[in-house]
Structure 1
């Protein structure tokens, strides 16, 4: 095992991190997207640092194939964009770069400093950037060229011991960004890591901090839960820690008030997870069915005029899933699907003008959250697809 040293304020070399070599970390190179390696290599060719970071490294360590590969570098966004013509800068406050290879999008961020706390946007060094990461399992940096894993915070040991530990102090981690509470539950369930008592206590105590979080960020998190294949376990734990009432207040109220509804809702989430586990490529609306179908069974007048029933059920479901704000067309699909399953066929509505009244046609946008990676990042704007240029 190697050691990474960095100079302190007096210029003295201080041990900062452990470096795991190929035989020690056992990450399989074939699980890494070749385009991600190309991006890192291109950054290095121009004198910049470049590493895989976050969830991709975590998944590689536990033997899973990552869905996304996020990259971190000391190059600033404008310089990254100049190096990659098939890229664009996103975000206003928290600027990132998206690099396109066909349908694939790679997110490249710049090392952040602690000058403005754990949510600031000033650029820094890797030594500072690691202290901005939420949990130790997400604070690992992987060099795909040297096949070395850099660990500042004991993340490798924590993953192997199946324990979720925060990097940021407990007294500020959720105050700085309440959405980290949802991620803590999600990471615990998806990796099988236990949450230690101190973190559980802080989760319970901090749950009300979720109340003022914007609907766009909550929508992003709910969609990730729906797509995770672990929705049942995540929701079960979110209820346990008092988080679900801020994520889906209407559903939480009905779960709390009716044991029968609670069982049905849990069963629906299990069915959702089974569908996701099969790897079926289905639209968001098909997955939303599992969030609303138990409500539709209760409120639908199955003998009423189809168009009137549809209108009533749609508006009830819209209120029911708030503050989640999915694209209108996806919720419409889910409502029609549920009604059809109950024997009530509703004609497809005529296409709406893009300037619809509810303003929820597209996926919600917003600035990326303070944690790096794909957690809480804004949805890309629609743009004319051009043939990607090589790096």
Structure 2
């Protein structure tokens, strides 16, 4: 059942002189889309994250548009438009690398002759949502109040049906409607709550947070491929440390990395938590410096505690049995893949990073020279440094490698950083490249909101 909502409420209309959004801050292509829709007689609104970020004085990553025009009507206005999606039919207007996403207002309830069961499962999860409605309905079916703000290109006002502007001022993340119902409609909203809270530095509203621990198990029903996409958004946006802590606080991390979460709970010295935190700090630093990162290194770090937990003493001991180690790697990865589908272009570099760790257990210059030649050496070496920082590797051994790596002419230099592309919709998942960094080579961008 859908969460019952009032069918007619009076929105707050915020005039131009009472908000900070200016057309000069909106991309030219988004303005072109808005004005063409308006000229054709349709309602045209900038909506969602773009309005939220501009209201916070931030630079939006994307500019999304909402309208009463149907996807086919949008397509008729733009030769460079493509219609995508089945569950959510959307129009994408392409301008070179920039894509403006145009969504038709969604309805709260199905039309006459349709039934709720056609679009909602017995558990309350929405599986089809191409029922079009009014701007009011569209606002009330959005997830968080701060994402339900509409900038009207007709008069430059901001239309607020859900109190989103007040929540922005209060630094509060609040779901629209009954949180339990909204989480059943789409359990990924629990992850989005954590992500937005970390990204914006907001506090999650008490009523929004309260159901999460006992509803987190609904994430088991989400396809592993979708959870992979969500993990990228969670941990590769520059607030990975805060995100990790908040996921654990609300009991969500275990539904993304179940074996690792168990290992963290059982580690009385807290070294596994320290290890993951160090890896996330490294990733956050690179993301915030607009340097490239790769999921391969990050996933390798997040799953590492699950591998160690299967080894004697929970550690990678000197001269470990190779077969035992490989078995631990295989079992940990197979269990993880049942929860989050990691593409092979990332899981293979992960395996190589892990496989090289026992090979660092040497202080032979001859063996070190051979290890230098391995294409994954840089990523594996940086992984070793993180292990040392967390107390999961012998300090003297780590220092030997640090000294040898910095002084040896055979050591490969770090791969030059490449800047991430800015503006427009971003491709999700990226490419693994050679993944020789920690996290270094090959840019991967975190996907949309």
Same fold, TM-score > 0.5, yes or no:
yes
Match of 2:197 in 1: 188
Distance in 2 of aligned mates of 1:257 and 1:135: 35
Instruction: Map Cα deviations across residues 152-208 of structure 1 (whole Å, 9 max, x no partner).
Output: 111001110111221122241111111111111111121122123222221122112
CA contact (8 A) 1:56 1:66 kept: yes
Please state how far the C-alpha of 1:147 moved relative to its aligned partner. Answer: 2.7
CA contact (8 A) 2:260 2:305 kept: no
Instruction: Map Cα deviations across residues 238-258 of structure 1 (whole Å, 9 max, x no partner).
Output: 111111111111221111111
Distance in 1 of aligned mates of 2:69 and 2:373: 53
CA contact (8 A) 2:296 2:349 kept: yes
CA contact (8 A) 2:188 2:219 kept: yes
Q: Secondary structure at the match of 2:12?
A: strand
CA contact (8 A) 2:263 2:306 kept: no
Match of 1:324 in 2: 340
Match of 1:336 in 2: 352
Would the alpha carbon gap of residues 93 and 317 (structure 1) be closer, same or farther in structure 2, given more than 3 Å must change? same
Would the alpha carbon gap of residues 305 and 107 (structure 1) be closer, same or farther in structure 2, given more than 3 Å must change? farther
Aligned length: 343
Would the alpha carbon gap of residues 127 and 348 (structure 1) be closer, same or farther in structure 2, given more than 3 Å must change? same
Match of 1:167 in 2: 176
Would the alpha carbon gap of residues 34 and 205 (structure 1) be closer, same or farther in structure 2, given more than 3 Å must change? same
Query: Over alpha carbons, which structure has the higher Rg?
Result: 2
Give the counterpart of 1:58 among 52, 61, 73: 52
Instruction: Map Cα deviations across residues 130-167 of structure 1 (whole Å, 9 max, x no partner).
Output: 11011111110113464321111110011101112211
Would the alpha carbon gap of residues 346 and 338 (structure 1) be closer, same or farther in structure 2, given more than 3 Å must change? farther
Instruction: Map Cα deviations across residues 318-377 of structure 1 (whole Å, 9 max, x no partner).
Output: 33543222321123234435656874568669xxxxxxxxxxxxxxxxxxxxxxxx99x9
**More divergent stretch after superposition (90-99 vs 176-185):** 90-99
Task: Please give the TM-score of this superposition, normalised by the length of structure 2.
Answer: 0.68
Distance in 2 of aligned mates of 1:320 and 1:206: 22
Q: Gapped runs of 5+ residues in structure 1?
A: 1-7, 350-373, 381-391
1:108 maps onto 2:123 in alignment: no
Match of 2:30 in 1: 36
Task: Please give the TM-score of this superposition, normalised by the length of structure 1.
Answer: 0.77
Please state how far the C-alpha of 1:31 moved relative to its aligned partner. Answer: 3.2
Match of 1:256 in 2: 265
Distance in 2 of aligned mates of 1:346 and 1:248: 32
Would the alpha carbon gap of residues 313 and 271 (structure 1) be closer, same or farther in structure 2, given more than 3 Å must change? farther
What does residue range 17-28 of structure 1 map to in structure 2 within 5 Å? 17-28=11-22
CA contact (8 A) 1:272 1:290 kept: no
Distance in 1 of aligned mates of 2:333 and 2:15: 51
Q: Secondary structure at the match of 2:204?
A: coil
**More divergent stretch after superposition (308-317 vs 202-211):** 308-317
Match of 1:3 in 2: none
CA contact (8 A) 1:91 1:378 kept: no
Please state how far the C-alpha of 1:112 moved relative to its aligned partner. Answer: 0.4
Q: Secondary structure at the match of 1:92?
A: coil
Distance in 1 of aligned mates of 2:28 and 2:335: 43
Distance in 2 of aligned mates of 1:49 and 1:241: 40
**More divergent stretch after superposition (28-37 vs 90-99):** 28-37
Please state how far the C-alpha of 1:292 moved relative to its aligned partner. Answer: 4.3
Q: Secondary structure at the match of 1:157?
A: helix
Q: Secondary structure at the match of 1:26?
A: coil
Distance in 2 of aligned mates of 1:21 and 1:204: 40
Distance in 2 of aligned mates of 1:270 and 1:249: 22
Distance in 2 of aligned mates of 1:317 and 1:146: 56
Q: Secondary structure at the match of 2:100?
A: strand
Match of 1:247 in 2: 256
Would the alpha carbon gap of residues 173 and 305 (structure 1) be closer, same or farther in structure 2, given more than 3 Å must change? same
1:74 maps onto 2:68 in alignment: yes
CA contact (8 A) 1:87 1:100 kept: yes
CA contact (8 A) 2:107 2:137 kept: yes
Would the alpha carbon gap of residues 28 and 210 (structure 1) be closer, same or farther in structure 2, given more than 3 Å must change? same
What does residue range 364-383 of structure 1 map to in structure 2 within 5 Å? none
Q: Gapped runs of 5+ residues in structure 2?
A: 1-5, 111-115, 121-125, 361-370, 377-424, 431-449
Please state how far the C-alpha of 1:277 moved relative to its aligned partner. Answer: 0.9
Distance in 1 of aligned mates of 2:352 and 2:25: 39
CA contact (8 A) 2:303 2:333 kept: no
Q: Secondary structure at the match of 2:203?
A: coil
Q: RMSD of aligned C-alpha atoms?
A: 3.4
